[in-house]
Amino acid sequence: MTRIETFLVPPRWLFVRIETAEGLVGWGEATCEGRSETVRAAVEQLAELAIGRDPGRIEDLWQLLTNGSFYRGGPILASAVAGIDQALWDILGKRLGVPVHQLLGGAVRDRIRIYGWIGGDEPGGVAEAAAAARDNGLTAIKMNATPAFGKLATRAEVSAAVARAEAAREAMGEDGDVAIDFHGRVSFPAARTLIKALEPVAPMFIEEPVVPENSHLFGDLVAHTHLPIATGERLYNRQEFLPVLCAGVGVVQPDLSHAGGITETRKIASLADAHGALLAPHCPLGPLALAACLQVGFATSNHVIQEQSLGIHYNQGADLLDLVLDSSMLATTDGWLPRWDAPGLGIEIDEAAVRRADQSPHGWRGPVWQHPDGSYAEW
């Protein structure tokens, strides 16, 4: 490869472009929400190791970029590697004239079920939003369970969370699904209370009921409920997924822009499969991240559903399909996205628009919340 470039584009994405000596171009997404400028610097450092090497030796490059420094790991490095890795798979597919899922062993399905977000960071208007999602063809949605949540769950907080979930469930109907995201903002004792209260709503899964630093608590939560527990957007390699899988988590959610890209996510999926768990990649990000997720999903037997960001509350000033020249490949029908066979990741980025957008790079940051007493509250 001869050139690696990065682009900070709205609303909060970081794209990676790799060019080869033969003139092929591959794209990837290294977005790390709120830290993408730092990841951009990491990509520039990794480029020192990658430039001049054969882009087709993807596993070898992944090992070099991930382990080629004494200090390694964490979201910044893993996200930088992820963006490069996606672009390398894109290049290999284009070089051979086949989609990435063909390189991963071939398709195991013809379409993928998707879900969308409703309700915002501090969930509200969920009945109307769920009904609109259903009218737009989605059969599954996800919503935050709560706004900032107290250390111990009050009756009012629990009742409000249950009422919102019930409203969304009613709007989606018996044949629709509602996933509920705790977003790590609920304490362990409060999570036990809230999960039990939500059981009658029958959510598709409960996501990130505690922060990843407390992954050792998942075994208790799994034993406490019959609901599927999901986690993984803030776990960055298969070693970090192993303890939660051993604890009985039923749905793993690696983010292909955080967890080392396509190469590592496939290994995480295999590890999950050995524990009877399902794969539902995290992806509230841009079109390249989504395309990479879908390529993995088309070729991975334990993939179950795919998140996507069209219309999500973070997409201010730009939306999922704005930088894609032909958005038809990402169009859904009745809540499903059909498999396509275009080479590489399968989408064509509007490079001119990306370069224009990067002239005014975004500086997206997540909110900082406080409890009523002034102490820090998880977002």
Active-site residues, by number, are: 183, 282
What is residue 163's three-state secondary structure? helix
| Single-letter amino acid code for the residue at 176 | G
Q: Is 252 helix (H, G, I), strand (E, B) or coil?
A: strand
Amino acid sitting at position 50: A
Q: Which residue has the tokens 């958005």?
A: 327
150, burial (CB in 10 Å: exposed 0-12, middle 13-18, buried 19+): middle
Burial 351-369 (b: 16+ CB within 10 A, else e): eeebeebbeebbebeeeee
| Six-digit token string for 79 | 């996200």
List b or e across 221-236, with b for residues whose CB sees 16 or more CB atoms inside 10 angstroms. Answer: bbeebebbbbbbbbbb
Question: What torsion do the CA atoms of 21, 23, 29, 34 make, to the nearest 10 degrees?
Answer: 70
- DSSP annotation of 15 reads E
